[in-house]
């Protein structure tokens, strides 16, 4: 019976550690971010794309959820391109990418569209829930979101 070096103590596993480490980290390596030399600070990386970047063309389907307190929350669901055929629709088992926008952002923000386009390219479902009064129309109640408001997400 062959022993699994990951589940049992095996001194030969030490020799295999670099190869195992590569196996574990290889899928993650494609997600690592490399800072461009010409855009070294986080402020510049935020401002430059907002001013000069192109927003990818993604389509949304708006859904409104009524809240228990008599208000509403709008969600924008990613619509996969129907022109590309049935293959463009994600499988029912595909991951759901949920993007909570930043301060005063929404699903039309440059970063939201870029992330949704990436989710679409991977064949994922996508949704962008809006915090109150960030989807366009003002909400009904005088309650706005703030940085620490996690009740909406719950």
For residue 107, the Cα-to-chain-centroid distance in whole angstroms is 11
Residue pLDDT, tens place only, 38-86: 998 989 988 888 888 888 999 999 999 999 999 999 999 999 976 544 4
62 and 46 co-located in one domain: no
112 and 73 co-located in one domain: yes
Its pTM stands at 0.69
In a domain, 98, yes or no: yes
In a domain, 75, yes or no: yes
Confidence band of 27 (pLDDT split at 50, 70, 90)? low
pLDDT at residue 86 in the model: 46
Domain assignment of residue 27, given as a range:
12-50
% of the chain with per-residue pLDDT over 90: 38
In a domain, 140, yes or no: no
117 and 77 co-located in one domain: yes
In a domain, 23, yes or no: yes
In a domain, 143, yes or no: no
Full DSSP string of 94-142: SPEEE----TT--TTSHHHHHHHHHHHHTT-EEEEEPPTT-SSSPPSSS
41 and 88 co-located in one domain: no
89 and 124 co-located in one domain: yes
95 and 125 co-located in one domain: yes
78 and 125 co-located in one domain: yes
Q: What total number of domains does the chain contain?
A: 2
Number of CB atoms found within 10 A of residue 33's CB:
6
Q: For residue 132, what are its two tokens?
A: 């109150």
Distance CA 67, CA 43 (A): 35
pLDDT at residue 82 in the model: 62
pLDDT at residue 6 in the model: 45
41 and 72 co-located in one domain: no
Mean pLDDT across the stretch 13-17? 54
17 and 41 co-located in one domain: yes
């Amino acid at each position: 019976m062959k022993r699994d070096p990951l589940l049992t103590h095996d001194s030969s596993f030490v020799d295999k550690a670099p190869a195992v480490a590569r196996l574990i980290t290889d899928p993650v390596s494609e997600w690592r971010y490399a800072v461009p030399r010409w855009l070294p600070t986080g402020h510049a990386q935020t401002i430059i794309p907002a001013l000069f970047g192109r927003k990818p063309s993604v389509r949304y389907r708006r859904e409104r959820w009524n809240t228990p307190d008599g208000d509403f929350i709008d969600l924008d669901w990613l619509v996969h391109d129907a022109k590309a055929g049935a293959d463009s629709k994600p499988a029912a088992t595909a991951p759901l990418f949920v993007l909570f926008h930043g301060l005063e952002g929404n699903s039309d923000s440059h970063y939201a569209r870029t992330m949704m386009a990436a989710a679409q390219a991977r064949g994922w479902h996508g949704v962008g829930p809006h915090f109150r009064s960030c989807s366009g129309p003002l909400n009904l109640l005088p309650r706005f979101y703030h940085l620490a408001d996690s009740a909406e997400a719950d």
